[in-house]
Amino acid sequence: MQYLFKFKPTPEQLDERSQNTLTENLGIRFKEVGDDFLIATMPVDHRTKQPLGLLHGGASAALAETLGSVGSTLFIDTPNTYPVGLELNANHLKAVTSGVVTGKASPIKIGRTIHVWNIEIRNDSGELICISRLTVMLINK
């Protein structure tokens, strides 16, 4: 089943909304908003590496959760409801030491109270370096 976003902001609008947050601090930038997917990039630099010089798994997890959570906001048409991450699974498949990684989030299930996302993160060569599944719960403000 294909789910279509109810709202479709520009990547620039999403970047602006992310000012003064972890998203901005990690250098995450939105690149594309499709009908039912989001793409964002994150640099592999001093902000996102662990002491051994590798991309930190937590940075990949932050990219995945950012993509899925923001994606969920694009399905919500009730102003008193917002998404919160309920569970995140991340399998780190390949090390990255430099460059930029790109994440793509696609919905698996969009329900009234639970959204489930698939997030694939790839290196500059297009190799899969992390695959994640995020469950988002919708709660009332």
> Which sequence positions are flagged as catalytic?
65
How many Cα atoms occupy the beta-carbon half-sphere of 11 within 13 Å? 12
Q: Concatenate the DSSP letters of all residues of 78-124 into one string.
A: -TTEEEEEEEEEEEE-S---SSEEEEEEEEEEE-SSEEEEEEEEE-T
